């Protein structure tokens, strides 16, 4: 029983108040015209059409290199052609490991052979369509047969290894078993390998992702006991994309690394398993009981090991070269055909891929169809719009990365912005992206109606923060004009655009009310999606409205809707965080070292157990943050000056529009981040030891976090330079 | 493997620095003599003797009214007689319900008959000695046969019912199933009954108390899957002790309430079960999935209900009148025989009761034996020492309460202090008590050596706080001369002394390193205790040293070691907490009501689920705390003036010693707390809705918490009066 009804509000109402407001980059007349155009755009969207596409495209498992994958490509390309797009299939030859041998057995103290397979369920017919199904595995695990004792490493993060150190436990020569969560999966074998482990097993703990989270499939959306999260473990924080062709498109003729030399393949074999398979393994581990925060949801006492549980694991892969097909569909702009708004979503799935990625892809298709209908009635975009359906995202953003590397020079000149979507769900709008687009996308959020409540999706998100946010978040939502959008780390196809080329990007999706446990399992089916995640694809249409508006406004605005006060405000936040990080680390290191030296640990710890004191850490010096503060002041002043121009509705010159859309490039440096030159953006990057999680001002932040103190001030200088460069760019705009 | 060895330090060293310090209440000469006496006292203590007594006394289940219980009484009384005490058996006739019918079955959607029994384990011979074993039940549950749907109420606290309200779920006409924890067990049926439930089931969730906490018995100390926590559910926050004789001793001739009129028997039947029995019940509950904080450790998705799980529960008890025997052993004081130091520990157990209570009782016996040896050599106490072994503590502090009520007039005049122990374990000293004794007991903690580390037990506790405490706790431990002792709620036999008569009390024990899951189960055996909790009873001896010193110093001090600056400091803390409580409640109520009124909940909550907004709450007025602040200032000034006298080592006149030890009476009022006149202490009380958990300045605190705003200022006035009365008493001492 619900205390208020599940209402579907009419989608096509324009609240009267909105109609009068100027859109960023538009004057009064063009704002009104744009809003009318958007209303017409909305009227083209059909939830039942999205639903039908979802059904068709998620019918079969369709990974890169598969026949079903090719069929998806052809279906999507054919639709784009029908709608009037110039379509090409951008093909790359990429290395694709698929499993040849997968064996895992507990050999002591008991014997258990892991099933490594997922159950077909009567309630979901899709789970019987297993032709071409990729079984559970981690792509870009190295081949290997290993045997050793198990050590439970919790999430396998750097902090977890510090805890193991305190217990005197090393994974050297052992096999680490880690649970999913706490970091991106690829970090787990990377760190375990760095620590000397000979293999890694990753499982989904039911406390995080199973019956602990909610009812399991098919009774609910959460992870079935046999469900396994597949996924890539390539070292994406070093570079994503084809492992053999960093920096260049993986065309047939590209120069390739030998596979042995590819630095993004793991050092040790790694295999994902279900919690059903994990139970006998974890139950067999002895040694110390885990600390309370490490407990999972299986009905056992968790222990750290090592042993007596011993496992043998044998993994071998087909290291095939396969074609990856990106569908690229262009609608030329009527006024600025060489300025491209790129809108992408991948099409490949680990299996049926209903949520991931088809739920996002069908929203993109609906947008493209609606845009084409507008164009057919003479209301085509002023700038070119490029729709892209990427292949092989799942193995490491491969299709998009290769395309971006292939066309880097052209994109550098022509790409105005990249708008990404991926899986979608019912709930609240989530937006990450470049903060030069924060104001524009806030206007969009305020103009799109939430289908369940009838208020704007922006207002619904504000309500969510009011109800569930921290006091600070509540205060911000009441005091800041715009909702703060998240900085982007990695995890989907925006990464090469934003972090390799410095193209302003957005990543858009809805979620929070469609429960999830199907991610990268065989249960990511049409039945699961339409029962639990977005019945009727209501939010599929809403996503089309948000992403479509973003694309249309970028395509048509007389002045590109870039804005810099939001950027300055967010960078100011990050600078403050860095100062606080250094300060807190300094205080904590000092006080913890003092405690260690004082001997209180020896007195306080249980002498019958092996937990020892923490290790002393190098104390944190004071850093000179002044260059960052000075650059930030420059940027804030320049942004304020430009804001007056941006808000007056005046059209921009072509020169100014080019200066606007290439402004994000100022935040990059050709030589990239320390140790990972592919990542050129100095404000946003995925964390080297978090994987997907973002690190803002990453050069500085990671140098502090990793206690590489000697790098910090150099990185502060570099970050200050890019911020100062952006300030100069903004001043140029105001002249 | 341990990073430092498990050392047993010599027990009888007196650090040189200590030897020079004056003991509170002693001058230089008498301090030295007292320390020498204490060294001699220590030398009488024998861990192997404690171990042997533990083995004998926990051999059989020995609850009140049982033959084995009588044998324990006789054994203890005989020892005291041997040692030279004047021993009497104080006998009371008390109502004791024991199970006649215990039936619980799930009748829909599946059938399951709860076993309601605990497994005997080959590894523990004691678990086969089940003669006279009380099966799992909750004493003072009413009889009843009920049938109804289950509702999962988490811990069954007031906050939990607020959450259920938001889901639109009522327990009216249902059977509530609650997990142990979060409040004292008796609160669960009390609240469920107030909310209209027809029955309550309480189980131990393995996340809190089972395999989630650590290895289960016999592989480790934690709760076996069949283990059930027995326990009383009488409404002790109304009054403890025999339910038929509130305020008077339950002598044979006492006037008794009819059982139907006894207000402390539950309104609805209640039964405790194991997690093995709980699993099929909880698995059968449907409805909404519980909020994340409500999840337990069973391998299921927890749901709120109500139903479809239906249970039938039938409980009937033998409502017998049985004799409760307190062993009272007196050693007359050589100088002030009418000033009594009372030292108690109960002797009855739910079953074998090795940890609870025998581990504490054997420490008390060792002290008594050592004290008798000193007396035999002409070094008897100057004040009388009364050792008490209480009966029927487990059913509701019955033996101690009846004795206190019986001898209230005498105790009011003669009782200097009451020192309580109960179960003990390996680890850190834990002290709760009257803050007039805070300084004295700190001196004791600094003088007793921790057997594992060789530093004082006080220093080890400080180290523990340094390592695990909050920043505030760390700061305090470094800046405050004394370790803060905890205020006392309820849960053991100090309650009638402190809270009914205003006798300054201490409760002393060690713990934190001996894992626990045996509490009130059949597994509280000699084998469990000596394997997991205190092998060799090393900390049993340390407990004797701490409690024995407290008794000896109170018995011999020329000036009773009461002190008031610690009291003022602690009361100051409580007054600050009350002001903050009101302030925070005011702000939170205002902002939450504003959110409710603004409609953000309707926007933020999932319209497909039943969770609704919270209910509006009455806004919190501003209260006049000035009377408390003024009284506190009075007390602080008086305490500071007296501190100079207390510290100079001068002996007190007999008048002053009487004024000192009766000072705690100033904190009581004959008419007691609102709604519960038995509780006369206005600084310390168990919470009406927490049970064991303390509420300081309870009249004021509970009026605020329960939003009985009209009571608050009256209670502030009363509390200020008692504090002011204490200040006057302290001034009298300084004259």
Could you tell me if A330 and A182 lie in one domain? no
Of B289, B298, B606, the CB nearest to A513: B606
* Burial tier of A143 (Cβ tally within 10 Å: 0-12, 13-18, 19+): middle
CA neighbor of B579 nearest in space, from B624, B513, B533:
B624
Using an 8 Å CB-CB cutoff, list chain B residues near A609.
Answer: 2
- In chain A, which residue's Cα lies nearest the Cα of B212? A301
Tokens representing A608 are 């019958």
Question: Does a structural domain hold residue B9?
Answer: no
Residues 6 or more apart whose CB falls under 8 angstroms from that of B258 comprise: none
Distance from CA of A211 to the nearest CA of B (A): 5
Could you tell me if A102 and A234 lie in one domain? yes
Using an 8 Å CB-CB cutoff, list chain A residues near B215.
Answer: 289, 301
Q: How many domains does chain A have?
A: 3
Could you tell me if A504 and A585 lie in one domain? no
Of B6, B299, B608, the CB nearest to A607: B6
- In chain B, which residue's Cα lies nearest the Cα of A460? B603
Across the interface, whether the CB atoms of A214 and B301 are under 8 A apart is answered yes
| For testing contact with chain A, the best of B286, B592, B603 (most A CBs within 10 A) | B603
Looking only at the bridges linking them, the beta strands covering A505-512 and A415-420 are parallel
Across the interface, whether the CB atoms of B607 and A298 are under 8 A apart is answered no
Question: Does a structural domain hold residue B48?
Answer: yes
Rounded to whole angstroms, how far apart are CA atoms B545 and A298? 43
Average pLDDT over residues B210-239: 97
Of A297, A460, A606, the CB nearest to B513: A606
Of B207, B466, B603, the CB nearest to A604: B466
Rounded to whole angstroms, how far apart are CA atoms A178 and A151? 9
Could you tell me if A492 and A508 lie in one domain? yes
**Bridge partners, residue B431, by sequence:** B508
Which of the residues in chain A have pLDDT under 70? 1-20
Across the interface, whether the CB atoms of B607 and A463 are under 8 A apart is answered no
- In chain B, which residue's Cα lies nearest the Cα of A292? B213
Question: Does a structural domain hold residue A9?
Answer: no
Could you tell me if A85 and A115 lie in one domain? no
- In chain A, which residue's Cα lies nearest the Cα of B612? A3
Using an 8 Å CB-CB cutoff, list chain B residues near A206.
Answer: 299
R_g of chain B, CA atoms, integer Å: 26
How does residue B18 score in pLDDT terms, banded at 50, 70 and 90? low
Q: What is the CATH number of the domain that holds B386?
A: 3.40.630.10
Chain mean position to CA B731: 33
Using an 8 Å CB-CB cutoff, list chain A residues near B290.
Answer: none
Distance from CA of B612 to the nearest CA of A (A): 6
Distance from CA of B601 to the nearest CA of A (A): 7
Across the interface, whether the CB atoms of A466 and B297 are under 8 A apart is answered no
User: Residue A10 has what pLDDT?
Assistant: 45
Using an 8 Å CB-CB cutoff, list chain B residues near A215.
Answer: 289, 301
Rounded to whole angstroms, how far apart are CA atoms A358 and B548? 74
How does residue B97 score in pLDDT terms, banded at 50, 70 and 90? very high
Q: Count A/B contacts: CB-CB distance under 8 Å.
A: 125
Contact A406/A245 with Cβ under 8 angstroms?
no
| For testing contact with chain B, the best of A289, A470, A603 (most B CBs within 10 A) | A603
User: Residue A18 has what pLDDT?
Assistant: 53
Question: Does a structural domain hold residue A291?
Answer: yes
Could you tell me if A101 and A241 lie in one domain? yes
Residues listed for chain A: 735
Question: Does a structural domain hold residue B1?
Answer: no
Last-in-domain residue among A295, A319, A343: A319
Rounded to whole angstroms, how far apart are CA atoms B397 and B494? 9
Q: What is the CATH number of the domain that holds B713?
A: 1.20.930.40
Distance from CA of A287 to the nearest CA of B (A): 10
Last-in-domain residue among A530, A556, A582: A556
Chain mean position to CA B491: 3
pLDDT digits (tens, 9 = 90+) for B226-267: 999 999 999 999 999 999 999 999 999 999 999 999 999 999
User: Residue A516 has what pLDDT?
Assistant: 82
The string over B191-208, giving b where at least 16 C-beta atoms fall within 10 Å of a residue's C-beta and e elsewhere, is: bbbebebbbbbbbbbbbb
CA neighbor of A635 nearest in space, from A625, A645, A627:
A627
Of B298, B460, B609, the CB nearest to A603: B460
Residues 6 or more apart whose CB falls under 8 angstroms from that of A383 comprise: A333, A335, A336, A337, A339, A340, A341, A416, A554, A555, A556
Using an 8 Å CB-CB cutoff, list chain B residues near A289.
Answer: 214-215, 220
Across the interface, whether the CB atoms of B1 and A168 are under 8 A apart is answered yes
Q: What is the CATH number of the domain that holds B137?
A: 3.50.30.30
Question: Does a structural domain hold residue A8?
Answer: no
- In chain A, which residue's Cα lies nearest the Cα of B458? A603
Rounded to whole angstroms, how far apart are CA atoms B255 and B405? 13
Distance from CA of B348 to the nearest CA of A (A): 31
Could you tell me if B331 and B258 lie in one domain? no
Contact B381/B334 with Cβ under 8 angstroms?
yes
| ipTM summary value | 0.94
Q: Can you tell me whether residue A396 is helix, strand or coil?
A: coil
Of B299, B301, B603, the CB nearest to A453: B603
User: How far is CA B212 from each of CA B177, B246, B296, rounded to the nearest angstrom?
Assistant: 20, 41, 9
Across the interface, whether the CB atoms of B297 and A299 are under 8 A apart is answered yes
Rounded to whole angstroms, how far apart are CA atoms B448 and A163? 33
Of A216, A464, A609, the CB nearest to B604: A464
Of B214, B298, B610, the CB nearest to A301: B214
Of B215, B463, B612, the CB nearest to A604: B463
Could you tell me if B113 and B255 lie in one domain? yes
pLDDT digits (tens, 9 = 90+) for A91-130: 999 999 999 999 999 999 999 999 999 999 999 999 999 9
Across the interface, whether the CB atoms of A6 and B608 are under 8 A apart is answered yes
Could you tell me if A649 and A720 lie in one domain? yes
Last-in-domain residue among A514, A536, A556: A556
Question: Does a structural domain hold residue A48?
Answer: yes
| For testing contact with chain B, the best of A604, A610, A614 (most B CBs within 10 A) | A604
Could you tell me if A377 and A470 lie in one domain? yes
Render B307-370 in DSSP notation, one character per residue.
-S-EEEEEEEEEEEEEEEEEEEEEE--SSEEEEEEEEEEE---SSS-IIIIIIHHHHHHHHHHH
Could you tell me if B178 and B288 lie in one domain? yes
Question: Does a structural domain hold residue B234?
Answer: yes
Residues listed for chain B: 735
Q: How many CA atoms lie within 13 A of A253 on its CB side?
A: 1
Across the interface, whether the CB atoms of A604 and B289 are under 8 A apart is answered no
Phi, psi values for residue B552, rounded to 5°? -65, -40
pLDDT digits (tens, 9 = 90+) for B473-530: 999 999 999 999 999 999 999 999 999 999 999 999 999 999 789 999 999 999 999 9
Chain mean position to CA A467: 25
Could you tell me if B59 and B150 lie in one domain? no
Domain that holds residue A250: 95-319
Across the interface, whether the CB atoms of B607 and A453 are under 8 A apart is answered yes
């Amino acid at each position: 029983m619900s205390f208020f009804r599940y209402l579907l509000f009419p989608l096509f109402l324009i609240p009267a108040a909105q109609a009068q407001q100027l859109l960023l980059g538009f004057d009064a007349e063009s704002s009104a015209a744009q809003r009318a155009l958007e209303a017409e755009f909305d009227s083209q969207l059909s939830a039942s059409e999205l639903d039908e596409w979802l059904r068709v495209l998620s019918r079969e498992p369709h990974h890169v290199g598969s026949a079903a994958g090719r069929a998806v490509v052809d279906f999507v390309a054919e639709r784009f052609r029908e709608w009037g797009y110039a379509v090409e299939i951008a093909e790359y030859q990429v290395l694709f490991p698929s499993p040849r041998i997968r064996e895992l057995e507990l050999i002591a103290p008991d014997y258990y052979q892991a099933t490594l397979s997922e159950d077909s369920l009567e309630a979901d017919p899709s789970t019987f369509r297993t032709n071409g199904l990729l079984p559970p595995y981690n792509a870009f695990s190295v081949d290997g047969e290993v045997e050793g004792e198990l050590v439970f490493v919790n999430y396998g993060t750097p902090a977890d290894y510090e805890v193991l150190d305190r217990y005197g436990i090393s994974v050297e020569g052992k096999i680490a078993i880690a649970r999913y969560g706490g970091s991106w999966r690829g970090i787990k074998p990377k760190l375990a390998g760095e620590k000397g482990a000979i293999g890694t097993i990753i499982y989904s703990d039911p406390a995080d992702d199973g019956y602990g989270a909610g009812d399991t499939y098919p009774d609910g959306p959460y992870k079935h006991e046999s469900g396994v999260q597949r996924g890539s473990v390539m070292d994406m924080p070093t570079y994503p994309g084809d492992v053999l062709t960093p920096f260049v498109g993986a065309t047939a003729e590209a120069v390739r690394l030998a596979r042995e030399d590819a630095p993004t393949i793991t050092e040790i074999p790694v295999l994902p398993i279900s919690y059903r398979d994990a139970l006998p393994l974890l139950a067999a581990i002895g040694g110390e009981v885990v600390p309370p925060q490490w407990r999972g949801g299986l009905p056992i006492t968790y222990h750290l090991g090592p042993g007596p549980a011993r496992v043998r694991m044998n993994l071998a892969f087909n290291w095939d070269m396969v074609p990856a097909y990106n569908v690229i569909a262009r609608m030329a702009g009527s006024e600025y055909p060489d300025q491209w708004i790129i809108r992408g979503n991948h099409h490949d799935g680990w299996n049926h891929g209903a949520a991931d990625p088809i739920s996002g892809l069908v929203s993109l298709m609906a947008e493209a169809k609606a845009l084409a209908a507008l164009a057919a009635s003479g209301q085509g975009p002023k700038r070119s719009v490029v729709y892209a359906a990427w292949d092989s995202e799942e193995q490491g953003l491969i299709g998009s990365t290769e395309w971006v590397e292939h066309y880097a020079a052209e994109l550098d000149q022509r790409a105005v912005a990249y708008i990404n979507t991926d899986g979608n769900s019912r709930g609240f709008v989530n937006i990450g992206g470049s903060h030069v687009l924060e104001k524009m996308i806030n206007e969009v959020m305020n103009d799109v109606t939430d289908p369940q409540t009838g208020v704007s999706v922006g207002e619904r998100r504000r309500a969510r923060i009011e109800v569930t946010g921290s006091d600070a978040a509540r205060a911000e939502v009441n005091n800041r004009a715009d909702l703060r959008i998240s900085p982007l780390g990695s995890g989907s196809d925006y990464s090469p655009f934003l972090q390799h080329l410095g193209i302003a990007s957005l990543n858009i999706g809805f979620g929070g009310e469609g429960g999830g446990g199907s991610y990268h399992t065989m249960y990511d089916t049409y039945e699961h999606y339409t029962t639990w995640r977005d019945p009727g694809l209501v939010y599929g249409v809403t996503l089309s409205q948000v992403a479509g508006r973003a694309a249309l406004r970028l395509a048509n605005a007389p002045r590109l809707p870039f804005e810099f006060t939001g950027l300055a405000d967010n960078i100011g936040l990050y600078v403050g965080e860095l100062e606080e990080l250094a300060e807190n680390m300094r205080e904590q290191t000092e006080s913890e070292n003092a405690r260690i030296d004082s001997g209180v640990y020896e007195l306080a710890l249980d002498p019958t157990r092996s937990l020892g004191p923490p290790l002393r850490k190098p104390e944190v010096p004071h850093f000179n943050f002044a260059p960052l503060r000075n650059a930030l002041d420059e940027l804030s002043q320049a942004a304020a000056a430009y804001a007056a121009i941006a808000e007056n509705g005046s059209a921009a010159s072509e020169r100014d529009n080019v200066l606007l859309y290439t402004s994000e490039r100022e935040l990059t440096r050709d030589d990239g981040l320390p140790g990972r030159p592919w990542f050129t953006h100095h404000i946003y990057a995925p964390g080297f030891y978090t994987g997907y999680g973002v690190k803002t001002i990453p050069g500085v932040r990671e140098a502090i976090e990793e206690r590489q103190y000697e790098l910090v001030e150099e990185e502060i200088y570099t970050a200050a330079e890019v911020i100062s460069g952006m300030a100069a760019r903004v001043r140029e705009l105001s002249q």
